[in-house]
Amino acid sequence: PFHQDFVVAEQEELTEEIAKDKIASLTGTKSHVTTRRSLKMAQPFVRKFLGGVKGETQKLEFVDKDAILDSIADVRNDNSSTSWCVAGFEGGKKLPKLALVASGSGGLHEMADCFKEDQVMFGLLRNKEQYDRSTVVRFYYVQWKGAAVSMAAKGHTGVFSGAVSAIFTPYHDDFLGETVDDLLANARGKIKDL
């Protein structure tokens, strides 16, 4: 029989002090009022990555962040004819940077022409749709992971997916594709009158 079990991955995670603290908690001899707060403050959370990955390699870098943000703002502007913009990764495999690729006013079909099979890209599409007697503007977030992109590259750039989608937020719906036909088929299910 035992009072407490410990699951540890490294020897440093189990010391005599930690064991005594746990046993004192179980037996009621430990004060939970003062020591708990000081214990939390003494051990700040440190994020650990597997496989030698460092925090510096997990930050989203930009070639020209202002150009991307200006292009997104242009798509959102009702007085602008720009209806889409696309950004993609440039640079080496180790430290890819997000850059503005293109923008235009020709809708989804024009936008689809700028996607490349060997790249991971993201875009924002503005589309006017008719519902009953009302014209509604809807925004769509487009994710492109080309069919020729390796699984390793998809995984590496996938780390940045949350940060990239936050740049294009808010949007009404999203769709993705690996080929133009795949992209258009996924869009047909979401965009009215495509």
Q: pLDDT at residue 130 above 80?
A: yes
The predicted structure's pLDDT at residue 100: 95
Per-residue pLDDT tens digits for 29-76: 776 565 555 555 566 666 565 555 555 556 788 999 999 999 999 999
Taking the C-alpha atoms of residue 98 and residue 164, their distance in angstroms, rounded to an integer, is 9
121, 150 contact by CB (below 8 A)? no
CA angle (176 as vertex; 68, 181 as ends), nearest 5: 115
More confident residue, 177 or 30: 177
Q: Are 114 and 142 a contacting pair, CB within 8 Å?
A: no
Cα–Cα–Cα angle for 125, 136, 194, rounded to 5 degrees: 55
Question: What pTM, to 2 d.p., does this model score?
Answer: 0.69
Q: Three-state SS for 148?
A: coil
The confidence score (pLDDT) of residue 152 equals 85
User: For 119-127, what is the mean pLDDT?
Assistant: 93
Provide the mean pLDDT of the chain. 83
pLDDT greater at residue 91 or residue 73 = 73
Per-residue confidence (pLDDT) for residue 17, from 0 to 100: 86
Phi/psi of residue 101, each to 5°? -95, -50
**pLDDT confidence band for 149 (50 / 70 / 90):** confident
Q: What's the pLDDT at 141?
A: 94
For residues 182 and 145, the answer to whether their CB atoms sit within 8 Å is no
Q: Return the pLDDT at 194.
A: 66
According to the model, what pLDDT value does residue 33 have? 60
User: What pLDDT sits at residue 160?
Assistant: 84
Mean pLDDT of 68-90: 94
The answer to whether 193 and 129 are in contact (CB under 8 A) is yes
